[in-house]
A and B are shown apart, each in its own frame.
Chain A
């Protein structure tokens, strides 16, 4: 049984990660591999979609904490969309909304990247 499924897609200059299942200390390295690959390939505009994510622990949040600076140094970012209330509450408790952008849906996050690209 796959505890975490990660799928990636491209929308113009933005790479979208679709997460489903359970993101914990056991599965977080799978997500780290995806970020490492993006960095190798010079892809720094990332949207993470949580539509199908059932569960997250701090090990999952730690992945976003560890990689966002590299993305921003390369004029990119990690933006979050489609979080359930329970998943958002964990991000909120740890203060992520002060440092990261959250969107209700993917289109808004993509629009934000496109808007930034024009500056």
Chain B
């Protein structure tokens, strides 16, 4: 078998509302059960995808709840790859500086932590602007 082909894949499309975050987490949790993945690994993937989708809802779509978020999970021999596609405003996570918690506390900031968490919890976070104007975020965790 070609080692580059996915052993397993699942797709989910949800509307860009925070009330769907629970559906996204349940979708990932179901896949983890099917694949018998270890809990600590699953927790990291679920939180990272939650953070990515929250950013899409709030920043790419400006909290407009009726846009699409496409999530594609592929399981390879050595890694799990989650690809998230949206059609909102372009946003490259690698441009976000690491959080300065002391400063954020003084400024009474509510956000600015998600991107850092995602980068810490996953092995690779890759953003690409797709032809046609879509954004693609690839989250990779080696197993």
Chain A interface residues toward B at CB < 8 A: 3, 22, 24-26, 55, 57-59, 61-63, 65-70, 86, 90, 93-96, 98-99
Contact = CB atoms under 8 A, between A and B. Distances in A.
A24 B102 CA distance: 22
B interface, size bucket: 20 to 34
Given A90-B117, A99-B105, A63 B110 contact: yes
Contact of A68 (B18, B57, B105, B114): B105
Contacts of B113: 58, 61-62, 65, 94
Given A25-B21, A90-B117, A93-B120, A65 B54 contact: no
Contacts of A61: 113
B101 A98 contact: yes
B120 A25 contact: no
Contacts of B40: 86
Given A90-B117, A99-B102, A25 B57 contact: yes
Contacts of A3: 22
Interface string B25-43: 1000000000000001001
B3 interface: no
A103 B87 CA distance: 44
Interface of B: 18-19, 21-22, 25, 40, 43, 47, 50-51, 54, 57-58, 99, 101-102, 104-106, 108-114, 116-117, 120-121
A94 B99 contact: yes
A75 B19 CA distance: 36
Nearest to A86: B43
Contacts of A63: 110
A61 B101 CA distance: 11
A57 B109 contact: no
Given A62-B111, A95-B99, 12 more contacts: A3-B22, A25-B57, A26-B18, A57-B51, A58-B113, A59-B111, A65-B104, A67-B108, A69-B105, A90-B117, A93-B120, A96-B101
A57 B111 CA distance: 11
A58 B19 contact: no
